[in-house]
Amino acid sequence: MTENGRPPYSHLHQINVSDGGVPKWPVLEALITKAGIEGDRQQNLKAHGGPDRAVCLYSQELIERLQDEGHSIEAGSSGENLTLAGLEWEKLKPGDLLEVGPEVKLEVTSYTSPCEKNAQWFRERDFKRVSQKINPGWSRLYAKVLREGVVRPGDEVVIERKE
């Protein structure tokens, strides 16, 4: 651990699930399958879920920066399943591979579209603050599962960037 109590590497900060909708709530571990996070459900399957959108990812550092701007967003509130820390988030893009812990491997498939259900976490309901088109590098990401397994907060995250 570093002086601030955080692991000194890119890691899984929090795992989030819900029975549909936002916010998603933290759990101590989760099984990630090709279908997504066990115990998690999406309300709108036209916009969320499916094999190419099995897992939603977001950055703890961006959440903290949004909080500094006065937004009430928290880890899990914007619907991400895995809140990751210590990554150069703005450099992640579709095609990049992420190993999470000793078992799980994900492939980033797309940037997520901002959802109006997240407006409640943003000042003046400006949920498009996390739009890739408007603010590149601030979007949540979708990923498909290449290798299933169990993840826990603190698990190391290793990135293999698409060239």
CATH number at residue 85: 2.40.33.20
The range of the structural domain enclosing residue 67 comes to 11-160
* DSSP assignment letter at 130: G
Residue 2 domain flag: no
Q: Report residue 130 as tokens.
A: 């996390």
Of 47-51, 77-81, 118-122, 135-139, least confident by mean pLDDT is 47-51
For 163, residues 6+ apart whose C-beta sits below 8 A from its C-beta are none
pTM for the whole structure: 0.89
Interatomic CA distance for residues 35 and 49, integer angstroms? 8
- Average pLDDT on 86-113 reads 96
- Average pLDDT on 79-84 reads 96
For 91, residues 6+ apart whose C-beta sits below 8 A from its C-beta are 161
Rg of the chain in Å (alpha carbons) = 14
Tally of structural domains, the chain = 1
pLDDT given at position 43: 53
**Mean residue pLDDT across the chain:** 89
Q: Report residue 120 as tokens.
A: 């409640």
- Average pLDDT on 93-108 reads 97
